Amino acid sequence: MKPLESFFRNENNTGTITLLLVIMLLMVPYGFIIQIGEGWHYYHVNAAVWVFRDWSYASGVEVYNSFGFLDPYVFLSSLIVGIFSYVFTIQIIRHHRAETTQKKVRISAVLTLIPLAPLFFLSLFGVSMQAGGGFTGPIPLFMILGLIIDHLWGVEPAVAPWDD
């Protein structure tokens, strides 16, 4: 058994892995905004407890550059936009306890992209929710990391003959 796999299979690490999932849920970025205009740019990356914004002109003049941590507005918006990420986290934990199947975990993983995916597809066609145009969309990093953890940590529920 590989060292990483043995870490996830060890029942003594359940609390550690749950804590890791919660930290990832709060710290891994889930959305972005990129706007590039004539002689200026604006970048914005969100996580549940932090946000990074950069707005600069090509001449080197920084209009706005900030890193916010524990911003109440960002946290409240992440509760709304990231609701499926919370569901996904709960599903991973339930899968470890053999209370749900991997298929349901994967469905909840795809749902994490739903709140921001329409904005991304609209921005590809030039329709933007931001002044000045640009791209807005999800960052699937939490989904990918969560699926890897679920693959290593999840336990399929026992199948009874009458469960078909």
Q: Is 15 contained in some domain?
A: yes
Highest mean pLDDT: which range of 4-8, 60-64, 141-145, 160-164: 141-145
**How is residue 156 annotated by DSSP?**
P
pLDDT at 5: 63
Interacting residues of 66 by C-beta distance below 8 A, sequence separation 6+: 51, 52, 53
Burial (CB count <10 Å: 0-12, 13-18, 19+), residue 30: buried
Q: What is the mean pLDDT of residues 59-68?
A: 74
Q: What is the pLDDT of residues 95-153, one digit of tens each?
A: 888 888 999 999 999 999 888 887 777 777 766 555 556 777 888 999 999 999 888 88
- 53 within some domain: no
Amino acid at 64: Y
Q: Indicate whether 86 belongs to any domain.
A: yes
How far is C-alpha 104 from the chain's CA centre?
Answer: 17
In a domain, 58, yes or no: no
Residue 114 within any structural domain of the chain? yes
Residue 89 pLDDT class (50, 70, 90 cuts): very high
Judge whether 60 lies within some domain: no
Domain assignment present for residue 59? The answer is: no
Q: How far apart are CA 25 and CA 49, in angstroms?
A: 9
pLDDT at 116: 82
Give the number of domains in the chain.
Answer: 1
CB atoms within 10 A of CB 14: 14
Structure tokens at 13: 């690490």
Strand partners of residue 33 = 44, 136
Q: The whole model's pTM is what?
A: 0.78
Which domain, by its residues, includes 19? Answer: 3-28+75-156
Tell me how far apart the alpha carbons of residues 10 and 132 are, in angstroms, rounded to a whole number: 51
